Amino acid sequence: MLENMECEKISYKKDENVKKITMKRIAEEASVSVSCVARCVNNSGYVAEEKRRRISEVMDRLHYIPNQQAKCLRDGCSKLIGHIHVTSEENIFFTKIAATIERESFSRGYKTISIAFEEGNMEMVENQLRDLLAYRVDGIILNPGINGKIVKELGEKVKGLTIPMVMIERPADVYEVEKVLVDNTEGSYIATEKLLAAGHRKIVYLGRESEEPVEQERYHGYVQAMRGVDDTYVQRHSYFTQEYTVEHGFMKCMEILEEMKGDMPTAIFASSDILAAGVLRALYERNIKVPEDISVIGYDDTIAKFLSPPLSTMRLPVREIAEAAVVALITKLEKPGGNSGNRTVKIGPVYVERNSVRDLNRQ
């Protein structure tokens, strides 16, 4: 019977021999039946407290670890969630999300297998997807980053799978899985509105040149907020870098300062904290004070509080994103006949005020 399926623990003795620790051996040393050990290990059925104590002591002494594959076969589920996410040295958002998903999953009785891949490396993604399936994960959370090509190729790979999936931070039209998205348009709109409310009108936008939805949405929020203020200023003073790096932010800001030296902006809205860090460095080298001379706002709240001055920014709701993704996936796992469908959940970022924005209304 599956209940009595013997689980193994492989331990290495000094003589390098491999020895199996079986339920039968545990039963003998605890003076109970094999079925009693199976009920205790699988937490199924009644086991007297004294017998449970003896079994636990023997298991601890022998360093017994239940065979997860046997448990999967018996229960039909592994209580494992796979998490595939991009790795980035510049952006710790993905690392924060991974850690939070692990905590949220654990609090709900699941464990996670988190696998990171380098952006643009589809072969690595395919290999890691196969690894997750080999672990018999119950479901997968995808956080593939901003590379549209990777996202679409990954979609082709996973759309034929039968296990539930949830995607983080991708637009609704990529492919049919449930999604938890940041409302990037709203976030940029709020950031720009904060500057407008502080009396700024000459607001330069600095973003990443890309057709990817995240960048497009962040720029669109700025354009919406500036509409009716000075449309021509928006067209003339929107700047874009090739990459999200401090170096690219620094170099582009130096270009902006050179180009606009006759009519300097009062504020710069950078579409990521990483770019904003480069902006702050460029302003420092030009002896331009922040926020006295030029105000700066970032986006993400990854490194903002560590910059000088501490950066006002839009904080990505990491905990809320991770919690929503985990809840959505577990709901699909535990209520497969439910009516949730492939929803799209949008969560708005929050403005965090620090010391990089000057209120011109108080002059």
pLDDT, position 272: 95
Q: What is the CATH number of domain 2-75?
A: 1.10.260.40
CATH architecture, domain 184-316+351-362: 3-Layer(aba) Sandwich (3.40)
The encoded tokens of residue 176 equal 């049919």
Q: pTM for this structure?
A: 0.75
- Compute the distance between CA of residue 137 and CA of residue 1 in angstroms, rounded to an integer: 23
What residue spans define the domains of the chain?
2-75, 80-183+319-348, 184-316+351-362
CB 122 within 8 A of CB 91: no
pLDDT score of 177: 77
Sheet strand arrangement including 238-241: 238-241, 203-208, 267-270, 295-300, 312-315, 350-352
The correct answer on CATH 3.20.20.70 for the domain covering 80-183+319-348 is no
Residue type at 62 in one-letter notation: L
Per-residue pLDDT, 73: 54
Tell me the DSSP string of 31-96.
Answer: TS-HHHHHHHHHT-S---HHHHHHHHHHHHHHT----HHHHHHHHS---EEEEEEEE-SS-THHHH
pLDDT at 128: 75
The predicted-structure confidence for 145-197, as pLDDT tens digits, reads as follows 656 666 666 666 666 677 888 888 765 555 567 889 999 999 999 999 999 99
Are 80-183+319-348 and 184-316+351-362 equal in CATH topology? Answer: yes
> Which segments of the chain have a pLDDT < 50?
1-18
- Closest CA relative to residue 296, chosen from 220, 362, 354: 354
Q: Which amino acid is at 138?
A: D
Of 214, 223, 146, nearest to 192 by C-alpha is 223
Residue 293 CB partners (closer than 8 Å, separation 6+)? 264, 283
Instruction: Kindly state the tokens that stand for 60.
Output: 């601890």
| Helix (H/G/I), strand (E/B), else coil: 5 | coil
Helix ranges (H only) for 135-245 are 148-158, 184-197, 213-226, 231-236
- The whole-number pLDDT of residue 18 equals 42
Positive or negative, the Cα torsion across 263, 265, 270, 274?
positive
pLDDT of residue 9: 42
Q: What angle do CA 340, 300, 101 make, to 5 degrees?
A: 45
| Closest to 291 measured CA to CA, from 319, 316, 269 | 269
Residues with Cβ within 8 Å of residue 260, at least 6 apart in sequence: 204, 237
